[in-house]
Amino acid sequence: MSNLNFTHFTLGVEEEYMVIDPATRELISHDQKLVLEGQKLINDKVKAEMHQAVVEVGTDVCNNIDEILRDITSLRQTLAAIADENNLWLGAAGTHPFSHWQKQLITEHVRYNEMINEFQEAARSNLIFGLHVHVGMQNREMANHIANSTRYFLPHIFALSTNSPFWEGRKTGYKSYRTKVFDKFPRTGIPEAFESIEAYDNYIKLLVKTNCIDNAKKIWWDLRVHPFYNTVEFRICDVPLTTNETIALAALCQAVCAKIYKLRLQNMNYIQYSRALINENKWRASRYGIDGRLIDFGKEEEVNTRVLIHELLDFVDDVVDELGSRHVISHVKSILENGTGADRQLKLYEESGGDLVKVVDFIHEEFLK
C-alpha cells in the first residue's frame, strides 16, 4: 500500500426524491410539509425544489464512504417516516412513470420564479430527479485538473445509474430519459476541458458580465468544479432506487478522482478526449444503459459496456482500499448482474403486462433498501 494522503477526498451527496399520492400513485405536492417537519429533525439537510412534488436532501461533508452510508440511510428513513405521517409516499427514480408535469405546482420562491420566467416551458417541464456527488479537493487548481480527466468516465458511471425509462405514461426506449428532459436547459451536458482554473473562472466572469447568468450555480454541466466549494461535483446520474446503489456510485466517483490524483503525483495523466467524442458515449449510456456498447477511444472500437465498467473497476482498484470503500464499491458488480434501476423497472413493467401503477409501487418499495 502506498503512503498517499487521500484524506482530503471528502464526500457529500444530494438526492432528489419524488412525493407520491398513495391513492393515485401520481406525483403530489407535499405543500412544504416534508421540508418544514424535516428541518425540525435534520435542519438544513432537507430543501424544497422548483416543483412541489420534489424534495431534496443533502448530507454533511463526510470523511469516508461509511459516514455517507449512515447519513443517506438516516435521511431516507427520516423523510420516509415524515411522509408516512402525512399520508404520502417517497420514491427515488429519475422520472415518474406516468405523472404529467403540467399538473404539478411550482414552489413559490424568487429564484424559481426567475427561472420559470427565463426558461418558460423548459423549466416547467423539468420534473426530474437526480443524484449529485461532491468529492473534496485540495484546491481549485487540482479540482480543474481532475475534472478535465474524469470527464471521460462520466458515461460509464451514468450507465450504472440509469433509472428513468418512462415519461408521462410512455415507455421511452431510453434507460435514462431524465437526461433528455434536462437537455432543454442551457449549459448542460458534458463540459469542455479548461486549460486552467483561471480559464474556467474567466469563462464564468464573462457570462456574468454579459448577463447570461447572475451566478456560477447556473452552470448545470454533468460535472463541474463547484463555484463555492473545493469540490468536483458529479451531476450526471439519475437518482438511484436504493441507498446501496447511491453509495456505490458515490464511492466510484471518489475512486476515479483519487486515481487521477495518484497519476498526477506520478507525473502521469489519463488521455483527455473532446466533448464531442464523450457525448457519443453519453448518448449510448442514456439509450442502452449497461446493456449497450460504448466506444473505447484508445482502441477506436465499440466495446461491451459491462466490459468497460469492469475495466474501470480495475483502473481504480489500487486506490479503493486506501479510501476504505472496497466493501461498497463491490456493489457495482451487483448492478452489473441484477440490472440498473431502469432495467428492474422495465422487467416489472413487462411481467405485469405494462402496469405502471405496479412500477410506482416498486419504486416506493425500493426506497428504504
* pLDDT one-digit tens code per residue, 242-301: 999 999 999 999 999 999 999 999 999 988 999 999 999 999 999 999 999 999 999 999
Considering its fold, how many domains does the chain have in total? Answer: 1
Give mean pLDDT, residues 233-243: 98
Q: Are 248 and 326 in contact (CB under 8 A)?
A: no
User: Residue 177 has which C-alpha cell?
Assistant: 430519459
Which residue range forms the structural domain that includes residue 26?
A: 11-366
Confidence of residue 312 (pLDDT cuts 50, 70, 90): very high
- What mean pLDDT comes out for the span 236-247? 98
Residue 3: band (very low, low, confident or very high) from pLDDT cuts 50, 70, 90: low
Identify the CA nearest to 220 among candidates 256, 249, 181, 255.
181
Which residue from 100, 112, 111, 113 is spatially nearest to 168, judged by alpha carbons?
A: 100
pLDDT for residue 338: 97
Which residue has better confidence, 3 or 10?
10
Residue 91 resides in a domain:
yes
**Has residue 292 been placed in a domain?**
yes
Is 72 contained in some domain?
Answer: yes
Residue 59 φ then ψ, to 5°: -80, 170
Residue 141 lies in a domain: yes
The closest alpha carbon to 286, from 188, 158, 182, belongs to 158
Does residue 350 sit within a domain? yes
Q: What is the pLDDT of residue 356?
A: 98
- Residue 2 placed within a domain: no
Task: Please tell me the distance from the alpha carbon of residue 264 to that of residue 270, in angstroms, as a whole number.
Answer: 9
* CATH classification at residue 357: 3.30.590.20
- In angstroms, rounded to a whole number, what is the distance separating the alpha carbons of residues 253 and 257? 6
In a domain, 4, yes or no: no
192 Cβ contact list (under 8 Å, min separation 6): 275
pLDDT at 107: 87
pLDDT tens per residue, range 335-362: 999 999 999 999 999 999 999 999 999 9
| Residue 209 belongs to a domain | yes
Give pLDDT, residue 267: 94
